[in-house]
């Protein structure tokens, strides 16, 4: 039987304290490594199961490890001497991926189960878990004119099959490691994150990246048509990556948010049709729209209620979709034309 460890006030985090970040070959964790490096942290251990050549970002001076953190022994190795652990590794993607590969999504439970235990045993001071708006009750998301979701809307539980349930159970692990064992955990529920250095092709990409790529392709191939999944009326909010990494940092270091799930998302609600119009405007083009009602589309509407984050942090994600999309479009266009020229790019 484990006993609760003595909960002490944190000493100041030193610039050479070891910070571990999993999923670092991917989009959000890769950007988090960059953000913390720029803040001056000198001992960062970045971990991903993907080969290094497929990581979106690799920062100089960072210890990069290629390890599968669904394996218990690897988690022990990864958490050795860690002062803080950010666990962002998960098998995930956009609707096309999470509706089709529910087993893969559910199996991510192994990652958090072993990581949180290894972090606790290593004496880690703080542990961050990346949850998702997919943990919310889907019955509250059946209308495009959705009421924004507040933190208490996860229960009574009826999460998105597969991916959402894994997130909800992993959140509970984090809450109980605090309640029973005194590990300070932070839990953020991300709402659709987008931006440069993320997946833009290959089947795991999310709507903003997919729309940018489709518009770029249409222009390049001089075929001014676009196929949109669903009927274009579904609504979502999208958070720019810079807001996401800033929010992770703020949430991780607040004692009054320990073991408390909190929304981290934009509340600028747009329909898929509006998203396409915004990308068209950036590209300076108008495309003929075709709708594919049989494609995966997810819930009808989803938005983030930011009352709690505003109250707690006096801040909320605030990069406008127009601004964030312009930067994302530019990056994906570079990737697209580099690939066309035969240069190696990461998708
Ligand atoms: N992107 C979003 O809109 C969004 C929304 C809600 C929640 N999230 C969550 O945020 C986290 C990061 O998402 P992302 O968008 O950066 O995804 P991503 O797919 O770009 O990155 C995840 C990374 O985890 C790695 N990974 C998967 N299984 C692993 C394992 N067993 N061992 C080591 N590495 C492993 C993958 O190789 C990948 O590089 C995930 O937990 C995801 O569920 C993301």
Q: Tokens 């529920």 label which residue?
A: 189
Cβ neighbors of 172 (< 8 A, separation 6 or more) are none
Give residue-wise pLDDT tens across range 33-61: 999 999 999 999 999 999 999 999 999 99
Q: Of 97 and 69, which is predicted with more confidence?
A: 69
**Residue whose CB lies within 8 A of the most ligand 1 atoms, among 20, 34, 66, 88, for a mutation test:** 88
Strand, coil or helix: what is 277? Answer: helix
pLDDT at 202 over 90: no
Closest ligand 1 atom, residue 111 Cα = 31
Q: Which protein residues touch ligand 1 with a CB less than 6 Å away? A: 22-23, 25-29, 48-50, 68-70, 88-92, 111, 130, 132, 190, 192-193, 198-199, 206
Name the helix (H) or strand (E) containing 63: strand 63-66
CA separation, residue 291 to residues 76, 94, 213, 225, 302 (Å): 48, 18, 17, 11, 20
Mean pLDDT calculated for residue range 163-188: 97
Structure token pair of residue 75: 């988690």
User: What is the average pLDDT across 149-167?
Assistant: 96
Residue 49 · residue 69 · CB < 8 Å: yes
Distance 114 CA to ligand 1 centre (A): 16
Which contacts qualify for 338-343: CB closer than 8 Å, 24 or more apart? Answer: 340/220
The predicted pLDDT at position 347 comes to 52
Ligand 1: distance of its center to the CA of 223 in Å? 33
Q: Please tell me the predicted confidence (pLDDT) of residue 109.
A: 97
Active centre residues (catalytic): 163
Q: What is the DSSP string of 193-229?
A: EE-SSS--SSS---HHHHHHHHHHHHHHTT--EEEEE
How does residue 346 score in pLDDT terms, banded at 50, 70 and 90? low
Q: Report which protein residue has its CA nearest ligand 1's atom 11.
A: 88
**What DSSP state is assigned to residue 24?**
T
Centre of ligand 1 to C-alpha 287, Å, is: 32
């Amino acid at each position: 039987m484990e006993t609760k460890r003595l909960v002490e006030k944190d000493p100041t985090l030193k610039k050479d304290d070891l910070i571990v970040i999993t999923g670092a070959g991917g989009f959000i964790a890769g950007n988090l490594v960059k953000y913390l490096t720029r803040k001056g942290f000198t001992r960062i251990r970045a971990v991903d199961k993907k080969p290094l050549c497929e990581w979106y970002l690799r920062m100089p001076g960072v210890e990069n490890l290629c390890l599968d953190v669904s394996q218990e022994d690897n988690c022990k190795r990864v958490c050795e001497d860690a002062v803080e652990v950010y666990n962002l590794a998960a098998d995930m993607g956009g609707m096309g991926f999470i509706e089709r590969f529910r087993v893969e999504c559910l199996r991510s439970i192994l990652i958090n189960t072993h990581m949180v235990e290894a972090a606790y045993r290593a004496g880690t001071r703080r542990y961050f878990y990346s949850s998702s708006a997919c943990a919310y009750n889907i019955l509250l998301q059946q209308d495009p004119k959705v009421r924004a979701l507040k933190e208490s809307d996860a229960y009574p539980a009826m999460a998105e099959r597969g991916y959402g349930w894994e997130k909800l159970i992993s959140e509970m692990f984090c809450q109980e490691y605090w309640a029973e064992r005194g590990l300070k955990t932070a839990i953020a529920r991300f709402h659709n994150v987008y931006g440069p250095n993320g997946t833009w092709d290959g089947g795991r990409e999310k709507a903003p990246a997919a729309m940018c790529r489709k518009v770029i392709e249409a222009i390049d191939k001089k075929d001014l048509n676009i196929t949109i999944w669903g009927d274009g009326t579904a609504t979502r909010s999208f958070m720019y990556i810079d807001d996401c990494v800033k929010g992770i940092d703020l949430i991780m270091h607040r004692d009054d948010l320990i073991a408390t799930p909190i929304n981290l998302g934009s509340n600028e609600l747009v329909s898929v049709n509006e998203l396409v119009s915004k990308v068209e405007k950036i590209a300076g083009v108008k495309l003929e729209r075709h709708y594919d009602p049989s494609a995966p589309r997810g819930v009808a509407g989803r938005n983030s209620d930011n009352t709690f984050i505003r109250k707690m942090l006096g801040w909320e994600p605030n990069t406008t979709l127009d601004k964030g999309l312009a930067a994302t479009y530019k990056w994906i266009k570079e990737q697209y034309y580099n690939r066309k020229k035969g240069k190696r790019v990461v998708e």
